[in-house]
Amino acid sequence: MTQRTVWLIAALFSFGLAGVVEAQPVSHTNIRQNLFSTCTGPDGQRWVVGELGRIFNTKDNGQTVVRTSANSREAFLDIACPPSGSLFVTGQHGKIWRSRDDGASWEPVKSGTERTLLAIAFSDENTGMAIGDYGTIVRTEDGGDTWNTVPLPTDIPLPEDIAEIIEPGDVLLYGIDFISETQGWIVGEFGVILTTNDAGATWVAQQSPVETTLFGVSFADAQRGWAVGIEEVLLQTEDGGATWKEQRVPKRKGFVLGIYNVAVKGNFGWAVGDSGFLLRSTNGGRSWERMQLPIELAANWLRGIELSADGQQGLIVGGSGIMMSTTGDQYRKLGK
């Protein structure tokens, strides 16, 4: 072993050690990667993931951000914070990473699929689902040790012209949300909305008023929920998804933008999308107003959103490392 190698190992060792002992906060200006998702752990910490293996956590809703490493440079598309305190991240190639020590170390777990997993959610400590490309749903009941594929229902209603070329089982699934230990929803291409009453073991299709792609779904309680999608589609249900209807979205001159995510808690609701698209509700999602964002935000997309149980504290993440915090009905870009 050459002297150089010894030094290198020593350097790596001490670097690794430093990482365990104390992680240094990252300045917002140094976060430039696209950020895709955020979640809140049982201890109230918020986690943010993005491309090039970026994982950040924050204890003060984004004021100070610390980076942790999963020793991967792959794109981390979604993160789930189940009540167990474990953390799960999904990515391309059917990859799922798990951490059981508050993000200090990460292990890849076998998902049984090679498909890109776009979203992940847990209904309780041990039961969770990751969804994605080609109608993929993989489900775990043992806290992520083993994952099994869940088939899609074969009776998903598809638009006529599409039904001829695409199998219902191949529908691309984008968004998932659980409101209780048993009840949850999935949205995807062609306006598809699925629901479960058995913690994701089986899924049934719900009647959707649109045939266009839905990216996100979120429920405030068992009855009231919202789904969002391209062309400024915002759907609302007040009967647990038995009926969905389009909600009015204030229009703006120019392009019709995609809405990527939505969240409503307490009186406050936020919906985010392409090119700085931001909707705010202060009446529990009954009506929405459109925010005018400054150009540096407006030129980027916003993708991930997480609200506290009362809706008072929120975190929004997006392209080029954007993080925004919400307090009540106010929003603020973090960093300079």
Partner 1 sequence: MIPQSWIDAYLKFLLKYSGLTTVVVALITGYFMLALGDLRLHTEFFDFYPKFRTSYDAYQNCREETDKGALSCLGGAIFNPGPDPYIQIYNDFREMFGSANTMAIILEVNEGDIYNPETLQEVDRITKHIIKAKGVVPYQIASIAHPKVRSLTTRAGALQIRELYYPGVPKTQEDAERVRFGVYSTKGVRGLYTSMDDTAAVVHAGFWEEELDFNSLYAHINELKESVEKNPNHTLYITGFPWLYTSVLRYTPQVLMVFVATTVALSFLLFVYFRTWTGVWVPIFSGLLSSIWGLGIAVLLGFNLDPLVLVIPVFLTARALSHSVQSMDRYHEEFYKSHDKEKAIIDSYGHLFPPAIASIITDGIGLLVVAVAPIPLIQKVAIFASFWVVSIFISVVTLHPIILKVIDPPSEEHEIKVGPIPMSRGAMYVGLNFLIVAVLAAINVTYPAPDVMGGVGSFRGGFFLLWCLPGICWFWFYYAEKIYAAITWVVIQGSEGWRRWAMVILTVVLLVGSAWMARQLKVGDMSPGMALLFPDHPYNVGWEKLNNKFLGASQLIVIADTKRPDGIKDSKPLQAIEEFSNYMLGAEGASESITIIDIVKRLARLYHDGDPRWGLIPDNPKEIGQLFYVFTNSSAPGDLNRFMDTSGRYATVLTLFRGYSHKIITEAIDYGKEFAKHNQTGDVEFKFAGGLFGILAAVNDAVESSYWTNIFMIWFIVYICLYLTYGTFLCCAILMIPVIMSQLVAEALMVMMKIDLNVNSLPIAAAGAGVGVDYGIYHFSRMIDSYDEIGELDEAVDHATATTGKAIIFTATTMIAGTIFWWFSALKFQAEMGFLLALLMAFNTFGGLVVVPSWVKVVRPTFFTKRVPQRLGQHLPNRA
Residues near partner 1 (CB under 8 A): 32-34, 36, 51-52, 73, 75, 77-78, 92-93, 116, 118, 172, 174, 189, 213, 215, 230-231, 255-258, 260, 274-275, 295-296, 298-301, 303, 318-320
- Shortest Cβ 119–partner 1 spacing (Å): 8
Phi, psi of 25 (to 5 degrees): -60, 150
CA–CA separation, 135 and 194 (whole Å): 11
Nearer to partner 1, 78 or 156 (CB): 78
Cα Rg of the chain (Å, integer): 20
- Shortest Cβ 4–partner 1 spacing (Å): 11
Q: How deeply is 245 buried, as exposed, middle or buried, from its count of CB atoms within 10 A (0-12, 13-18, 19+)?
A: exposed
* Size of the chain in residues: 336
Nearer to partner 1, 47 or 268 (CB): 47
Nearer to partner 1, 141 or 170 (CB): 170
Nearer to partner 1, 132 or 200 (CB): 132
State the DSSP code for 144: T
Ramachandran sector of residue 220 (left: φ over 0; alpha: ψ -120 to 50; beta: rest): alpha
- Shortest Cβ 229–partner 1 spacing (Å): 8
Do residues 36 and 77 touch, judged by C-beta distance below 8 A?
yes
Element (DSSP H or E) covering residue 4 = helix 3-21
- Shortest Cβ 158–partner 1 spacing (Å): 16
- Tokens standing for 130? 């990751």
The residue to which tokens 């809706």 are assigned:
311
Q: Which residues pair with 18 in a beta bridge?
A: none
- Shortest Cβ 294–partner 1 spacing (Å): 10
Helix (H, G, I), strand (E, B) or coil at 9: helix
- Shortest Cβ 78–partner 1 spacing (Å): 8
CA–CA separation, 253 and 276 (whole Å): 14
Nearer to partner 1, 34 or 237 (CB): 34
- Shortest Cβ 23–partner 1 spacing (Å): 17
Q: In what order do the strands lie in the sheet with 233-237?
A: 214-219, 225-229, 233-237, 245-246
Nearer to partner 1, 34 or 99 (CB): 34
Nearer to partner 1, 4 or 43 (CB): 4
